[in-house]
Amino acid sequence: MGNHNHHHHEHSGESLIDAARDSLVSSGEQWTSMRADIFEELARHERPASAYDIADNLSAKRGKRVAPNSVYRILDLFVANNLALRVESANAFLANSHPGCEHDCIFLVCDECGEATHIDNDEISEKVRGVAKAADFRARRPIIEIRGTCASCS
Ligand SMILES: [Zn+2]
Ligand SMILES: [Zn+2]
Ligand SMILES: [Zn+2]
């Protein structure tokens, strides 16, 4: 994560789905039809989505009930494999536009419309990690989220 000169790829649409599948498969996990459906559903959401949102949409799409718990487990797997990002203060998830590379992603979360703008700034996250290290604390994952009002809501 300390490498500022890596080849950073941002994906969207079909290319994002391909990149997510490749990334999951290369870490030895299967891209099942349920996982594919959940990822596509997540990628369709512009705002952070909860397991309940995804389960509702998927139940409608598949014509049979999909339990939020199974969606939640798969979202957790996605987060662990860098396919999805968890927006903690919204208790919801976003598809990760850069499944191929790891960052401590930063979010600007709008209190009005719920939009979460995704920012990568390794300089800031490394400073946060440095503060933890100086306090003899081993940082696993800094969570940097800024609540406020987005441009279209202000
Ligand atoms: Zn990157
Ligand atoms: Zn990021
Ligand atoms: Zn807003």
Name the percent of the chain in helix, strand, coil, to the closest 5: 45, 15, 40
Instruction: Report CA(124)–ligand 3 centroid distance (Å).
Output: 24
154 in Cβ contact with 108 (< 8 Å): no
Distance 62 CA to ligand 2 centre (A): 31
Distance 105 CA to ligand 2 centre (A): 4
Label the pairing between strands 84-87 and 92-95.
antiparallel
- Measure 113 CA to ligand 3 centroid, in angstroms: 4
Task: Give 86 Cα–ligand 2 centroid separation in angstroms.
Answer: 11
Which of the four pLDDT bands, split at 50, 70 and 90, describes residue 78?
Answer: very high
- Cβ neighbours of residue 144 closer than 8 Å, sequence gap 6 or more: 104, 106, 107, 124, 125, 128
Among the bound ligands, name the one nearest to the CA of residue 100: 1
pLDDT one-digit tens code per residue, 26-75: 999 999 999 999 999 999 999 999 999 999 999 999 999 999 999 999 99
